[in-house]
């Protein structure tokens, strides 16, 4: 019995020592695939072509709705929810992005962070005409340049104010900042990674805030 107790204490001591060591390690990322920045950068003409093609997707081909699962989007309580993403062309020619779900309605008091709206961009440039660069909270620099099979969504200031009002329904509290999304797309599929722009001491970083993956549920056809 004494030996058993001694071994148990030794095991606890070893486990504690190993855990402390593991926490101190600075482990590098081990990517399984190439990052999105390894994709070919588009020329200005190719960006215009991509815009026109996507415009055709959501107007001519009626592939303007994607149904799938959203996970952890701006709330730790939105673990896996059936969600709809829709695109529409506004009167000024911009493309509006919207994502909506029942917001855990079945749970009674789930988080209500929906719907969310943003504008679609095929590249983001600053006032000097240079591609916008932002860092993630892990120190990775993201360049929002034109890339094949990629576009971006940026939340409008107006929608951010709406989400701030909705905070009374959201256990996460006040939104940290505007959301950014990186969308990998083709005619029938979309995979979206969401980030939130967080500002600390005058420095803005992108914090990971969930994902969505969906397909076109059906194609609308004129009778």
Does 14 fall in a domain? no
Q: How many domains does the chain have?
A: 1
Q: Which structural domain, as residue segments, surrounds residue 57?
A: 42-215
Q: How confident is the model at residue 71 (pLDDT cuts 50, 70, 90)?
A: confident
State both tokens at 95.
């493309």
Mode of pairing for the β-strands spanning 133-136 and 203-215? parallel
Does 94 fall in a domain? yes
Ranges 14-28, 84-98, 175-189: which has the least confidence: 14-28
pLDDT in tens, 72-93: 877 666 677 888 999 999 999 9
Does 190 fall in a domain? yes
Does 132 fall in a domain? yes
Does 11 fall in a domain? no
Does 83 fall in a domain? yes
Handedness of CA 172, 175, 180, 183 (dihedral sign): positive
HSE-CB of 69 using CA atoms within 13 angstroms: 4
Instruction: Tell me the residue ranges of DSSP E strands in the chain.
Output: 65-71, 81-89, 95-100, 116-121, 133-136, 141-143, 150-155, 179-185, 189-200, 203-215
């Amino acid at each position: 019995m004494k030996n058993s107790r001694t071994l148990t204490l030794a095991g606890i001591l070893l486990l504690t020592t190993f855990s402390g060591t593991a926490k101190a390690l600075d482990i590098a990322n081990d990517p399984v695939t190439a990052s999105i920045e390894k994709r070919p950068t588009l020329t200005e003409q190719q960006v215009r072509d991509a815009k026109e093609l996507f415009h055709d997707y959501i107007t001519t081909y009626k592939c303007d709705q994607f149904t799938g699962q959203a996970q952890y989007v701006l709330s730790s309580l939105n673990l896996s929810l059936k969600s709809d993403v829709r695109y529409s062309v506004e009167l000024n020619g911009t493309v509006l992005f919207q994502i909506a779900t029942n917001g855990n309605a079945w749970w009674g008091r789930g988080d209500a962070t929906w719907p969310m709206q943003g504008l679609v961009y095929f590249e983001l440039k600053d006032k000097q005409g240079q591609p916008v660069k932002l860092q993630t909270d892990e120190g990775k620099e993201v360049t929002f340049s034109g890339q094949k099979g990629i576009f971006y969504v940026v939340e409008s200031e107006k929608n951010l104010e709406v989400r701030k009002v909705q905070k009374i329904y959201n256990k996460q509290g006040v939104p940290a900042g505007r959301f950014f999304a990186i969308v990998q797309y083709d005619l029938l599929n979309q995979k979206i990674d969401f980030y939130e722009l967080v500002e600390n001491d005058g420095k803005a970083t992108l914090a990971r805030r969930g994902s969505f993956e969906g397909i076109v549920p059906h194609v609308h056809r004129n009778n």
